[in-house]
């Protein structure tokens, strides 16, 4: 009954969206659809051709990896048989301020995987609160793991996830794992799907230079319908982009929700130092520590140390998402601020590794991340200027173009294997515009960071003048950049 109701709601949503597109098309003059007319509909898309070409390239590469290359790799792994088995598996789980129900779900799935994978396994719990330790011990007693499955607790101060990871890595180092050992890093709100350990650990024997890999994500959102759809859309896009980058073995992040590393990587003091105390020396803002973005720090460290990165699309995890605010607008902006800040803080120094280390495609993708904050606003800005200067028809043409192309992009996302919904076209455009504005804001304020689950904030102990200078110079640069952007468009239009 619930499935039928959901299906009817989805159908009604799609019909409503298509009806809006048709009404918008009917409101336009016929000349818009005349190929010989100077304001032919497709001309508005010339502004974004190079942006769409990048998206198309990601899609083609992603599909090639998902349906051709990865199945070939999987057959090679299967032929290895027992030779691909690790000597020991460590499952490191970091937990802090997560509700008891979610914590129980997570540790139940982790202990189950430790038992069912069949490898010698140690579950390492990096925790802050005594209540979490008691909960895990209770689950451990009830599930009664066999002798080859061990439990290790690491009590840490509640100073952030980076410290939790570093303490956990050092605890694993004390076990003295050999070169065939692997470490899975699992976030405290990540429920492992069945068989995920068996699907991820063999790849390190097939690819001798892969230092870390990450997994496919699905989510359960404890929030509104639109918040749930927003997260699901993000994971569908993520899946295609991960597959695209995996074709070059240059996956751009070691997702904190679940990633797997060679044991010799996470026990390397240099890697631990990168994750625990990563920082940036900025020409204007000075030196500051990274609070968030451990997934980007671990990726950058792997690249710098000479390792490749990989993606396993059929190894799934389910994350329990707790939006930081009840309002969708506030919650999405807060999450974007954190995600895009992590991305931009790593971007410039990652590019400095050079094309020889990153490869041509990865370098282009990293460069595109820096300019996309402006190109994503280009179409809307031109449409608004043209509608004010010439005719409102130009804005209507742009809206029809956006509605049609976002519908097409949504349909293409269905090839990812993730479900799609009628709200996706609107959310795609929301992410484009609001995401670009958030990127511009954070680009000039890279030192501003905060967790969405914790109240931890960066305090550098700066003097009042330095605080004043950082604040006002950030505002001045934001205003200057926006003014140059708008002035350029006014001249061109």
Q: Higher confidence at residue 66 or residue 44?
A: 66
What residues contact residue 73 under an 8 Å CB cut-off, 6+ apart?
A: 203, 206
pLDDT reported for residue 40: 43
Tens-place pLDDT, residues 359-386: 999 999 999 888 889 988 988 888 888 8
Give the range with max mean pLDDT: 149-153, 222-226, 285-289. 149-153
pLDDT reported for residue 30: 66
Q: Tell me the average pLDDT across 80-101.
A: 91
Token look-up 């804005």 returns 395
pLDDT reported for residue 382: 85
Please report, rounded to a whole number, the percentage of residues in the chain having pLDDT higher than 90: 56
Centre a 10 Å sphere on the Cβ of residue 65 and count the other Cβ atoms it contains.
Answer: 23
Q: Higher confidence at residue 383 or residue 238?
A: 238
Tell me: pLDDT of 51 over 90. no
Q: Burial letters for 19-53: b for 16+ Cβ neighbours within 10 Å, e otherwise?
A: eeeeebbeebeeebeeeeeebebeebbebbeebee
Tens-place pLDDT, residues 106-143: 999 999 999 999 999 999 999 888 888 999 999 999 99
Please report, rounded to a whole number, the percentage of residues in the chain having pLDDT higher than 70: 92
CA 484 to chain centre: 31
Q: Tell me the average pLDDT across 59-65.
A: 96
pLDDT reported for residue 363: 94
Confidence of residue 41 (pLDDT cuts 50, 70, 90): very low
Tens-place pLDDT, residues 247-296: 999 999 998 899 999 999 999 999 999 999 888 888 888 888 888 888 99
What residues contact residue 166 under an 8 Å CB cut-off, 6+ apart?
A: 272, 275, 276
pLDDT reported for residue 209: 96
What residues contact residue 35 under an 8 Å CB cut-off, 6+ apart?
A: none
Residue 305 phi, psi (nearest 5): -85, 0
CA 105 to chain centre: 22
Alpha-carbon distances of 386 from 125, 394, 405, 490, rounded to whole Å: 58, 6, 20, 9
pLDDT reported for residue 419: 85
Confidence of residue 43 (pLDDT cuts 50, 70, 90): very low
SS (H, E, C) the chain: CHHHHHHHHHHHHHHHHHHHHHHHHHCCCHHHHCCCCCCCHHHHHHHHHHHHHHHHHHHHHHHHHHHHHHHHHHHHHHHHHHHHCCCCEEEEEEECCCCHHHHHHHHHHHHHHHHHCCCCEEEEEEECCHHHHHHHHHHHHHHCCCCCEEEEEEECCCCCHHHHHHHHHHHHHCCCCCCCCEEEEEECCEEECCCHHHHHCCHHHHCCCEEEEEEEEEEEECCCHHHHHHHHHHHHHHHHHHHHHHCCCECCCCCCCEEEEEHHHHCCHHHHHHHHCCEEEECCCEEEECCCCHHHHHHHHHHHCCCEEEEEEEEEEEEEECCCCCCHHHHHHHHHHHHHHHHHHHHHHHHCCCHHHHCHHHHHHHHHHHHHHHHHHHHHHHHHHHHHHCCCHHHHHHHHHHHHHHHHHHHHHHHHCCCCCCCHHHHHHHHHHHHHHHHHHHHCCCCCCECCCCCCECCCCCCHHHHHHHHHHHHHHHHHHHHHHHHHHHHHC
Confidence of residue 44 (pLDDT cuts 50, 70, 90): very low
User: In terms of Cα–Cα distance, which of 250, 438, 170, 202 is closest to 330?
Assistant: 438
Kindly report the average pLDDT of the chain as a whole number: 88
pLDDT reported for residue 289: 85
pLDDT reported for residue 128: 87
Tens-place pLDDT, residues 156-178: 887 778 888 999 999 999 999 99
- Contact predicate 252/215, CB 8 Å: no
CA atoms within 13 A on the CB side of 321: 24
Is the backbone of residue 94 left (phi > 0), alpha (psi -120 to 50) or beta?
beta
User: In terms of Cα–Cα distance, which of 27, 20, 15, 14 is closest to 395?
Assistant: 27
Tell me: pLDDT of 31 over 70. no
pLDDT reported for residue 451: 65
Confidence of residue 57 (pLDDT cuts 50, 70, 90): very high
pLDDT reported for residue 191: 94
């Amino acid at each position: 009954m619930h499935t039928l109701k959901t299906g009817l709601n989805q159908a009604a949503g799609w019909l409503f969206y298509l009806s809006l597109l048709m009404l918008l098309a009917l409101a336009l003059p016929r000349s818009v659809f005349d190929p010989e007319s100077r304001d032919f509909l497709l001309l508005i898309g010339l502004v974004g051709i190079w942006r769409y070409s990048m998206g198309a390239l990601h899609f083609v590469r992603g599909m090639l990896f998902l349906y051709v290359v990865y199945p070939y790799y999987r057959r090679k792994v299967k032929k290895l048989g027992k030779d691909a088995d690790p000597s020991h598996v460590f499952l490191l789980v970091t937990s802090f301020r997560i509700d008891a129900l979610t914590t129980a779900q997570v540790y139940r799935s982790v202990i189950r995987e430790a038992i069912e994978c069949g490898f010698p396994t140690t579950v390492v719990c990096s925790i802050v609160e005594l209540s979490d330790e008691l909960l895990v011990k209770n689950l451990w007693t009830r599930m009664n793991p066999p002798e080859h499955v061990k439990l290790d607790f690491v009590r840490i101060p509640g100073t952030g996830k980076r410290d939790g990871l570093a303490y956990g890595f050092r605890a694993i180092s004390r076990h003295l794992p050999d070169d065939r050992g692997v470490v899975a890093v699992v976030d405290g709100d990540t429920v492992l799907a069945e068989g995920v350990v068996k699907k991820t650990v063999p790849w390190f024997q097939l690819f001798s230079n892969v230092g870390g890999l990450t997994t496919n994500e699905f989510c359960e959102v404890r929030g509104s319908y639109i918040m749930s759809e927003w997260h699901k859309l993000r994971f569908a896009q993520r899946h295609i982009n991960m597959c695209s980058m995996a074709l070059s073995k240059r996956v751009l992040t070691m997702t904190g929700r679940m990633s797997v590393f060679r044991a010799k990587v996470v026990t390397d003091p240099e890697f631990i130092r990168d994750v625990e105390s990563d920082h940036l020396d900025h020409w204007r803002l000075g030196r500051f520590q990274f609070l968030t973005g451990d997934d980007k720090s671990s990726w950058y460290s792997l690249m710098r140390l000479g390792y490749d990165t990989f993606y396993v699309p059929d190894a799934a995890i389910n994350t329990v998402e707790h939006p930081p605010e009840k309002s969708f607008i506030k919650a999405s902006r807060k999450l974007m601020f954190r995600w895009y800040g992590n991305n931009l803080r790593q971007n410039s120094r990652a590019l400095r590794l050079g094309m020889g280390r990153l490869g041509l495609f990865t370098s282009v993708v990293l460069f595109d991340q820096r300019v996309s904050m402006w190109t994503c606003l280009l179409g809307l800005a031109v449409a608004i200027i043209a509608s004010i200067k010439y005719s409102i028809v130009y804005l209507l043409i742009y809206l029809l173009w956006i509605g049609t192309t976002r519908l097409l992009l949504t349909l293409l996302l269905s090839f990812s294997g993730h479900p799609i919904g009628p709200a996706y076209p609107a959310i795609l455009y929301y992410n484009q515009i609001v995401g670009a504005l958030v990127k511009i804001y954070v680009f000039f304020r890279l030192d501003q960071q905060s967790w969405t689950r914790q109240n931890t904030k960066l305090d550098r102990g700066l003097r009042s003048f330095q605080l004043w200078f950082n604040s006002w110079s950030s505002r001045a640069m934001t205003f200057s950049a926006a003014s140059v952007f708008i002035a350029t468009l006014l001249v061109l239009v």
